[in-house]
Amino acid sequence: MPAPAPTEPHRLPGGLTLRQAGPADLDQIGALLTARGEQADAEDHRLVVEDPAAGWESCAVVVDGDRVVSTATLLDEELELAVPGRQEPVRLPAGQVELVATDPAFEGRGLVRELMGWAHRRSAARGHLLQVMIGIPYFYRLFGYSYAIDIPAHRPLSRPPVPDALEGHVVRPATTADLSEVERLQGLAQRVSDLRMPHSPPRWQWLLDRHGSTTWVVERPAAGAPAQVVATGRTTAPEDEPVLAELAATDRAAALAMVAHAHQCAAAVDDPSPLVVWDRPGTVTGDVVDAVCGPAPTQAEQYYVRIPDGVRLLDELRPVLQARLAASSVEAPDEVVLSTFRSHVRMPVVGGRLGPPRAGGTMQSPGVHGGAGVAPDQLGPLLLGPHGMVGLSRRHPDVYPGPHADLMAALFPPVSADLLTYYLP
Ligand SMILES: CC(C)(COP(=O)(O)OP(=O)(O)OC[C@H]1O[C@@H](n2cnc3c(N)ncnc32)[C@H](O)[C@@H]1OP(=O)(O)O)[C@@H](O)C(=O)NCCC(=O)NCCS
């Protein structure tokens, strides 16, 4: 039987129905998200579904009669992957599943499995080439996700800036009027990374409206001129572990003022915990974090990625691969062969240019065909992750470059990343 369209109600065993959510479900979804997560989740959900930019169609529920027993929401995202030597990145429409919960009385019946199926069908219908997400450990591997992209290092503040660091600066919550400056600062900070995911335009407003975190701006008043926004950052709510994320600034003094303010907020609660600051290596704020923070914990933290159609994604990434090939001194063979073992793809190289990928069947020994092997669950890490072909082939026996090792290393280098997400991972 063909899979139901994401907009169609879908009967499940036990008399349950999976359907698009609607305004009458709002309170029950909010109660379920609060019971299984945090109070702030209900507000976050409401901001999404009541904004026509996302709308009710971005959320689905499983109902038992009128009772909402499980829910999930799919957000629109866009990833950008830098093309060497070009100003414009390749843009990859993506989906992110968020706000997932099942009523304890209905757990273990495959309801989230069904909702993930809905989310992936909706994501495909919206033209998304991949999905990214943050989620509880391991669980989402069951639905085709792999850990692929590093989450920024969380570094404990060990040498807090002196209060004087705030002198000459005003720190206040951002308003809608600040958004263009905030986006500009975030864009500059993200540009040093190969792979970027900005906040979507509607999410900027949700971030200002939500209480689960606060987006700040640092202003520097100037004599006879309007004050300039010189830094921004996002902190967790006072009741949560104190974190300063998304720190972006024009200069060191501005970044230090933001850190000093976040430190003061963290210290102002009963029984304070030390502030944790997210690192952004290669930016001015990265230098400040190096100066004031200790090392990050060694536990790996990564975003999940799901690639529903590797051939299509490779086709979209051709400008990136082409530019990497051109920038390398590697002599390319007649075709680039990449096998995921149960299937493979061939990209012809004609006059130094990569042609469209062609899909083929099982390929057990890609090396014999001059190709590389990559297990399907390592395709996301290979295309978007920090290790590249060289690093992954050291870690995984079923990732290897084959006879054209230099070519594969040039096509699939380590990718640095800076992703902005609704929830702070
Ligand atoms: C985690 C949660 C969403 C699972 O919902 P659910 O409807 O019980 O999930 P499903 O029944 O669809 O589970 C699908 C599969 O995952 C397994 N599974 C369920 N919870 C799991 C977990 N935490 N870790 C690993 N596997 C899990 C199930 O056994 C099932 O396996 P099967 O298909 O082989 O039978 C639910 O327990 C919940 O609401 N937890 C609290 C809130 C939360 O953590 N939300 C996720 C935030 S990212």
- Looking up tokens 């609660």 gives 269
Give the closest residue to 59 by CA, choosing from 42, 45, 75, 73: 73
Spell out the per-residue pLDDT of the chain, length 425, in tens: 677 888 889 999 999 999 999 999 999 999 999 999 999 999 999 999 999 999 999 999 999 999 999 999 999 999 999 999 999 999 999 999 999 999 999 999 999 999 999 999 999 999 999 999 999 999 999 999 999 999 999 999 999 999 899 999 999 999 999 999 999 999 999 999 999 999 999 999 999 999 999 999 999 998 888 899 999 999 999 999 999 999 999 999 999 999 999 999 999 999 999 999 999 999 999 999 999 999 999 999 999 999 999 999 999 999 999 999 999 999 989 999 999 999 999 999 998 899 999 999 999 999 999 999 999 999 999 999 999 999 999 999 999 999 999 999 999 999 999 999 999 99
- Tell me if 404 sits within 8 A of 411, measured CB to CB: no
Residues 363, 1, 75, 107, CA torsion sign: negative
Residues 340, 51: Cα–Cα separation, whole Å: 40
Tell me, in angstroms, the distance from the centre of ligand 1 to residue 112's CA.
Answer: 7
- Over residues 307-336, the pLDDT tens digits come to 999 999 999 999 999 999 999 999 989 999
Tell me, in angstroms, the distance from the centre of ligand 1 to residue 223's CA.
Answer: 57
Residues 218, 230: Cα–Cα separation, whole Å: 6
pLDDT at position 223: 84
12, 38, 107, best to mutate for ligand 1 pocket (most atoms within 8 Å of CB):
107
Tell me, in angstroms, the distance from the centre of ligand 1 to residue 116's CA.
Answer: 11
Tell me, in angstroms, the distance from the centre of ligand 1 to residue 109's CA.
Answer: 9
- Over residues 217-272, the pLDDT tens digits come to 999 998 888 899 999 999 999 999 999 999 999 999 999 999 999 999 999 999 99
pLDDT at position 74: 98
pLDDT at position 25: 98
- Tell me if 52 sits within 8 A of 202, measured CB to CB: no
pLDDT at position 224: 87
- What's the topology of domain 10-127? Aminopeptidase (3.40.630)
Task: Kindly state if the Cβ of 136 falls inside 6 Å of ligand 1.
Answer: yes
Task: Kindly state if the Cβ of 138 falls inside 6 Å of ligand 1.
Answer: yes
pLDDT at position 226: 87
Amino acid at 76: D
Atom 16 (ligand 1) nearest CA: 139
pLDDT at position 255: 98
Token output for 217: 């701006």
- Backbone torsions φ then ψ of 135, nearest 5 degrees: -170, 175
pLDDT at position 222: 85
Residues 243, 157: Cα–Cα separation, whole Å: 10
Task: Kindly state if the Cβ of 112 falls inside 6 Å of ligand 1.
Answer: yes
Residues 132, 133, 134, 140, CA torsion sign: negative
pLDDT at position 308: 98
pLDDT at position 3: 79
Tell me, in angstroms, the distance from the centre of ligand 1 to residue 276's CA.
Answer: 29
Measured from the Cα of 98, ligand 1's closest atom is: 48
Task: Kindly state if the Cβ of 102 falls inside 6 Å of ligand 1.
Answer: yes
Task: Kindly state if the Cβ of 141 falls inside 6 Å of ligand 1.
Answer: no
- What's the topology of domain 154-298? Aminopeptidase (3.40.630)
Query: Crossing angle for the helix pair 252-267 and 284-292, nearest 10 degrees?
Result: 50
Give the closest residue to 402 by CA, choosing from 377, 378, 366, 374: 366
Token output for 366: 């890609």
